[in-house]
């Protein structure tokens, strides 16, 4: 796979140390900085948008359960991603991605048609409510003492939510949600959770959390295409790596620097 010089410069910092409570804020250098967490699916959305636009940037990683105090200064919500561009601070993944699409040159990630763009935003909200939220309950159910039965219920809720997206790809009859030829904004907003789709069964073995691929033939083909995309593949982590991080989360002490050991 051929990577641009800009993209190669970002790769070296993706797996860097995650700053913690008490750590001083690193110096912000260069016109574009992304405050990230290597395993955060929301921040991954913005990594993908920057890659699609071939934007060179500095990556700074943050722990989120023991976050550095200065993260609150950048984002009052205390979350990632945070995009800093020429002193302008932009947070929340969808907002940051739209900013990237509007400000930087290159191919447009959002549809030009207002109706299509509205449809994609509604699908993004639907995905958050019907697919992401149940999966987040699997991630963080340990805080509520939830066991296998609850995890299976959340997983089944998420799979029911995926039906809308299988149907949408069928209606579009294209290789990607954006177009026949290449992924766009909606593809990048959805992808991070599909990358983790097989991780739940690897962590919670024997609980029935296997991704039912036979129910989603269109999405499975889309997943295969996305995993090989030049804007997606460099940042992609395999199932076992995601599973290792999720296992560490279940202890209440996530290993944010897991990639430093590889």
Q: What separation in angstroms does the CA of 42 have from each of 47, 53, 208? A: 9, 18, 26
Which residues, in sequence order, are bridge partners of residue 88?
85
Cα 57 to Cα 52: distance, rounded to the nearest angstrom = 13
Catalytic residues: 40
Question: Within 10 Å of residue 6's Cβ, how many Cβ atoms?
Answer: 14
Cα 10 to Cα 234: distance, rounded to the nearest angstrom = 10
For 5-23, the DSSP string reads: HHHHHHHHHHTPPEE-TTP
Inter-residue contact 194 to 223 (CB < 8 Å): yes
Inter-residue contact 174 to 180 (CB < 8 Å): yes
Angle between helices 41-52 and 5-14 (to 10 degrees): 160
Three-class secondary structure assignment of 194-207: HHCCCHHHHHCCCC
Q: Tokens for 237, please give them.
A: 């982590």
């Amino acid at each position: 796979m051929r990577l641009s010089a800009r993209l190669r410069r970002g790769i070296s910092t993706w797996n860097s140390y995650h700053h913690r409570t008490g750590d001083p804020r690193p110096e912000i250098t260069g016109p574009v900085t992304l405050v990230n967490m290597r395993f955060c699916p929301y921040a991954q959305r913005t990594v993908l948008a920057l890659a699609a636009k071939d934007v060179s940037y500095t990556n700074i990683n943050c722990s989120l359960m023991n976050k550095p105090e200065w993260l609150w200064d950048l984002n009052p919500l205390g979350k990632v991603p945070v995009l800093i561009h020429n002193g302008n601070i932009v947070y929340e993944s969808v907002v940051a991605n739209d900013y990237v699409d509007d400000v930087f040159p290159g191919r447009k990630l959002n549809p030009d048609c207002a109706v299509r763009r509205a449809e994609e935003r509604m699908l993004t909200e639907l995905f958050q409510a019907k697919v992401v939220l149940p999966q987040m309950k699997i991630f963080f159910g340990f805080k509520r003492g939830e066991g296998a039965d609850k995890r299976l219920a959340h997983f089944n809720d998420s799979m029911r939510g995926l039906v809308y997206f299988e149907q949408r790809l069928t209606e579009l009859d294209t290789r990607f949600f954006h177009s026949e030829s290449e992924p766009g904004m909606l593809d990048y907003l959805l992808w991070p959770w599909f990358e983790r789709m097989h991780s739940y069964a690897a962590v919670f073995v024997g609980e029935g959390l296997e991704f039912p691929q036979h129910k989603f033939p269109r999405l499975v083909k889309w997943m295969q295409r996305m995993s090989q995309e030049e804007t997606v593949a460099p940042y992609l982590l395999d199932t076992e790596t995601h599973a290792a991080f999720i296992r560490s989360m279940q202890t209440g002490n996530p290993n944010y620097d897991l990639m430093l050991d590889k």
